[in-house]
Amino acid sequence: MTPDIRFPLNPQQQAARAWFESLRDRICAEFEAIEREAGSDASFAYTPWDREAEGVAPGEGGGGVRGVMKGRVFEKVGVNISTVTGDLAPGFAQTIHGAADNPAFFATGISLVAHMANPHVPAVHMNTRFLNTTKNWFGGGADLNPPLPRDEDTADFHAVLQAACDAHDPTYYPRFKAWADDYFFIPHRGVHRGVGGIFYDHLECADDAAFDANFAFTRDVGDAFLAAFPPIVRRRMNEAWSEEEYRTMLEWRGRYAEFNLVHDRGTLFGLKTGGNIDAILMSLPPMASWS
C-alpha cells in the first residue's frame, strides 16, 4: 500500500520515495516471518492517511501509510512511510535546516519502532528520510533499546552498522555513533535511552553526485538494519523471563516514552506538519509503568 500523492515528484524525490516503500515491504515481510516461526499468524494492518493542513485537499499535501502488527514476538511494531509537502509554520520553519527564509518543504521517509513481548529481546528504532527545503538532504539512523542489555547483541548490532558506514567513509561510524549517544539521551533522567547505534542528519545533496552518494549510504543503513536486528530477535525470542524482568521492561518503556514525548525531533516534526497522530505516536509502547 502506498500513500495517495497528487503532486509531481522530481526524479530524486521519486527514487527516495520508492526506496523507502520497498524497504518497508521487506522489513514487514521479515517481521511476519519471525511471527510464523513463533507459531503466530500475526500480520501488519495498513492504514493510509492524508496530510492535514488548512486549505489542502486530500492527497495534495501527500500523506502516508501506518503499518502496525501485534503478535507473539512483536508485542507492538509500527512501520510507517510518508511523503508530504507544503509550508512549515513560521515559527517551526526557523528550526528546520534550510527553511528559515522559505517555509516550503518536501519530505519522504520510513520510521520504525518495535516493542517486544520478551524482555530479553531488545526494542529497536530505525528511521531514514529525504528532505527538501532550500537545501536537500538525507538523515536517519538506527538504535537498539534493550530493557536487559546483552553485550553480544550490542556488539553485533554496532558491527553491522559500522560496516555499512565504513564502506562509505571511515569517519562516519565514530561521528554518527557519537551523535546517537548525544541525541538518544534523557536529560531529566541522566540516562541514555538504550545502547546506541548511529544517527545522522543534514547529509546535503548540492548536486547529483552528492545525492547519489548520500542516497547510497542511506540505502545501506536500511539494509544494515534489516541484516542486524532480525538475528538478535531470533536469538532471544524463546528465552524464559521472570516477573522481575518483565517489570524492568515496563519501567524501561516508561523512559522510552518520556524521551519520545519530550525530546524526540521526529515526533515534533510530525505534529507540526499535519501528520497522522496515530502514526506519529506509534512509537509509544503498548504498556509501560512508572514507579
CA-derived radius of gyration, the chain: 18
Of 115, 125, 158, 192, the catalytic one is: 125
Sequence-distant (6+) residues with CB within 8 A of 29 are none
Q: C-alpha cell of 126?
A: 530505525
Let me know if 168 is a catalytic residue: no
Give the other-Cβ count within 10 Å of 35's Cβ. 21
Q: How far apart, in whole angstroms, are the C-alpha atoms of residue 234 and residue 87?
A: 43
**Strand runs labelled E in the chain:** 45-50, 62-69, 74-87, 104-116, 123-132, 136-145, 185-186, 191-192, 196-204
Q: Is 254 exposed, middle or buried (0-12, 13-18, 19+ CB in 10 A)?
A: middle
Strands in 74-87's sheet, in edge-to-edge order, are 45-50, 62-69, 74-87, 104-116, 123-132, 136-145, 196-204
CA 32 to chain centroid: 18
- Exposed e or buried b per residue across 111-140, where buried means at least 16 C-beta atoms within 10 angstroms of its C-beta: bbbbbbbbbbbbbbbbbbbbbbbeebbbbb
Cα distances from 213 to residues 51, 204, 209, 275, in angstroms, run 30, 10, 6, 29
Q: Pick from 62, 117, 92, 112: which is nearest to 249 by CA? A: 117
Please provide the DSSP assignment of 149-181 as one string: --HHHHHHHHHHHHHHHHTT-TTHHHHHHHHHH
Question: Cell numbers at residue 34, please?
Answer: 519471525
**Catalytic site residues?**
125
